[in-house]
Structure 1
Amino acid sequence: MSRPRVAVFRPDDGRVDDAADLLDSLGAEPVPDPMLTIEPTGETPPDADFVVLTSATGVDVLAAAGWDPGDAVLCCIGASTAEAAEEAGWTVDRVPEQYDSEGMVRELRGDVAGKTVALARSDRASATMPEGLREAGADVTETTLYRLERPADAGESASLAARGELDGVAFTSSSTVEGFLTAAEERGVREAAVVGLEDAVVGAIAESPAETARDAGIAVDVVPETADFEALARAVVERAKRRA
């Protein structure tokens, strides 16, 4: 049996190489196609009662800058973000059951009235969390820790999908879905790439990127119970092998 060809879109800061190695170990032929590069802004969040971090990338950027949460209640979206924060030597106080902005709002809305909340995220973060926390009575500040850019040479996966030569994809954020579609558009194969994914196993790490994909007409086959890349990769590869 040939190895299923699976595309992965993690940032080109080492994580895409780790992801490719994982796919290889699972018996897949990895197609590393980074859709994002990380550009730190040099900014750090102000002192606040609560600090919310949304990604392991944000943790890495802050740790490299020498930032520390101090006495703030440190809140992390997702197990991987919390794990990265703990590895940085910080104590994680709150992790929502649902690993997205809505889940964090539900986690904190009963505790933040009259409190200051610092959100530290990328430049592509949605308005869901600040709006929800302000409605709960919090004084919210937003800090852009890093900007996300798409590499100029991104899009090999889109070309493969358009030719029907891709067996699976593993989307790890809405930005990677959008990057895939933009790269396909620039190569003149957007419609063909979306059609080509009909015969591939499409995985999304959480409901947010899954919804972005569905809105673009891409059917999503896999969303793991936990927002974890290894769980996503295993599910996509196993289903792709069964389909083959």
Structure 2
Amino acid sequence: MREKPRLRVAAFRPADDRLDSAVELLESLGADPVPDPMLAIEPATAVEDSDTGDGDDSDDQVTPRTDADYVVLTSKTGVELAAAAGWDPGEATVCAIGEATAAALHEAGYGVDIIPAEYSSTGLVETLAGPVAGARVEVARSDHGSAVLTDGLEDAGAYVHETVLYRLVRPPESGESAALAADGDLDAALFTSSLTVEHFLDAAAQRGVREAAIDGLNEATVGAIGEPTREAAEAAGISVDVVPDQADFEALACEAVEAAAPSHHE
């Protein structure tokens, strides 16, 4: 067992500026980051979408439909891919699931009309439930989007179409954090989606330490960015200690670090 002068905290964000920001934040909180990306982005192409009748036979990047009354973006990645492919929202009302997605839209030169008070699929449904009745709603996101959003909008009377902009896969090299957890050398883990939970467990299983990693997490502090993520973790036998009121990484990291070692960074 190692000496623990600093908290060792795992972050599972994709290996881009989000992981860089996570590492910087954890270091500012006095923790020792374990950057272990559990998600990698594979952009969808039009040829993959051709069976829906929305694409052609090219390998061009898929974009959100342009004939909708409302367009919903749920991630920074989705915005960046849509912008790179030249998407034009036209007269559609543009909706962002939260501030990070809205910031990405602004950065790409798009306007943002609606951001829900609660940054979640449930929050979007509650915000749009009245206005979208009878309207065409385009939901553009990853292949692992929650049915809460699409089902909720349909229940509200919207005509919903979903476009998969990208797939989320597990990087084959992931799993350092699982090995640390299995050895009792991880103090906290920050799960940012149900899929990061699934991929963490897949990585642990690949290394032959799935049960030991779960045991290690249950001796550590586990943070989940929202209720669906908490539910996925707990269904796998992982106890969740922290679910911040605000569904963003900074809140998750700050609350989990504080829970793991109260005021150690002050």
* TM-score after normalising by structure 2: 0.87
Distance 1:75 1:81 in 2: 9
1:36-57 CA-partner distances (Å, limit 9, x unpaired): 1111121111121000011111
SS in 2 for 1:60: helix
2:94 pairs, out of 62, 66, 74, with 74
Relative to structure 2, which stretch is displaced further, 89-98 or 21-30?
Answer: 89-98
Distance 1:243 1:230 in 2: 16
Distance 1:56 1:185 in 2: 30
Match of 2:124 in 1: 104
Match of 2:156 in 1: 136
Match of 1:63 in 2: 83
Residue 16 in structure 1 maps to residue 6 in structure 2:
no
* TM-score after normalising by structure 1: 0.94
- Structure 1 spans left out of the alignment, 5+ residues: none
Match of 2:37 in 1: 34
Q: Is the 8 A contact 1:51 1:72 kept in 2?
A: yes
Matches within 5 A, 1:111-126: 111-126=131-146
1:46 pairs, out of 65, 79, 83, with 65
SS in 2 for 1:43: coil
Match of 1:201 in 2: 221
Aligned residue pairs: how many? 244
Distance 2:263 2:181 in 1: 16
Aligned alpha-carbon RMSD (Å): 1.6
Matching residue's letter, 2:140: A
Deviation at 1:9, TM superposition (A): 0.3
Match of 2:258 in 1: 238
Residue 213 in structure 1 maps to residue 233 in structure 2:
yes
2:106 pairs, out of 73, 81, 86, with 86
Q: Is the 8 A contact 1:10 1:35 kept in 2?
A: yes
Q: Is the 8 A contact 2:223 2:240 kept in 1?
A: yes
Match of 1:7 in 2: 10
Relative to structure 2, which stretch is displaced further, 80-89 or 42-51?
Answer: 80-89
- Structure 2 spans left out of the alignment, 5+ residues: 45-60
Q: Is the 8 A contact 1:100 1:208 kept in 2?
A: no
Distance 1:69 1:23 in 2: 37
Distance 1:105 1:34 in 2: 30
Q: Is the 8 A contact 2:140 2:165 kept in 1?
A: yes
Match of 1:187 in 2: 207
Q: Is the 8 A contact 2:120 2:247 kept in 1?
A: no
